[in-house]
Structure 1
């Protein structure tokens, strides 16, 4: 999928122009790499990937129109061998695990140094995975703990919208007792003190990024 015979093509996806410019400056210092395309949201990322077939895509997760996780899902469904590096601000363990499950190759934070980004690109090209130390630590801190089920995530997403138990029950066509039971399970799994605390923890860990 190389764009030219002697260079690897990199697609950069981020809704902040300054970040894209910074990545371009980092990547194009390498004699065997070049930025062959940019995108400012997930929808553009999918379109650009189809058009350019880059060797590697660097992508943020939180973007307008279509987020990074949705873009990764779409691209990997069409291009199973796509090499995708997540470069984002958020290290939440559920978010990271979901990104890898959907097909991400590596996961870096935007605080990564230039050499770390280049190392991740070269490792990805060689078929190796790279995970930022802070991200690995976040995953390890929750290792062995039971995650939220799809149904619990849906309930919590409605709580995050400010809906009452009755409203949630009506929206999901379940009883209020079922809603209460799921909230009790959610708070126990997250170690939350109340509904608001549960939402805060879930947002931080990435459970509410993209609903199943």
Structure 2
């Protein structure tokens, strides 16, 4: 009877084992973390379009719309990058069985950074529209993404360390494949940011190349899931 009032994570496993595996606070079901994160990310991508201001001179409307190309480009790039973060956030939390206090803190910092990206995008577009401050704008934009990329790695590696917060069904090969995909991101973004300080357009090209690479499926994880399904099917037969 006394066990009925315990947290779900302690009922699922041994009390002593859970205390060792969760050094920072109690374990919580990550579903609410994912739901809250989805909401913040949805708001962030919606705010992007609000940063595109329609031309005030409607007598030369077509010319004014053409001159907004930096805003369109910043919107397109940032929307895809934030969408990419949303996908990879789900990749992480598909394998994280529980969230302790540090996961909640790191995830909150990540969401704070994602919510900041519409502002960074507006700064980038404004600099290219005015033709002044492009180098600073690219560096500012790159730093905003650099922090987010670092936080992705921090959350995943913390949850993966000792497998204390990972789902028991997560194949070690899948966990390693996710790590291999996440780890190059800070270096890649830092390179684009540094290049942008010298040549803004080239820096943005490097940052934009980040998009197709990180939308591509994680091969190791896909293979691991396929093997697990085949094994489950064979066992049930």
TM-score normalised by length of structure 1? 0.27
Structure with greater proportional strand content: 1
Q: Which structure is richer in relative contact order (CA contacts within 8 A, separation 6 or more)?
A: 2
Higher helix share: 2
Q: TM-score, normalised by structure 2?
A: 0.25
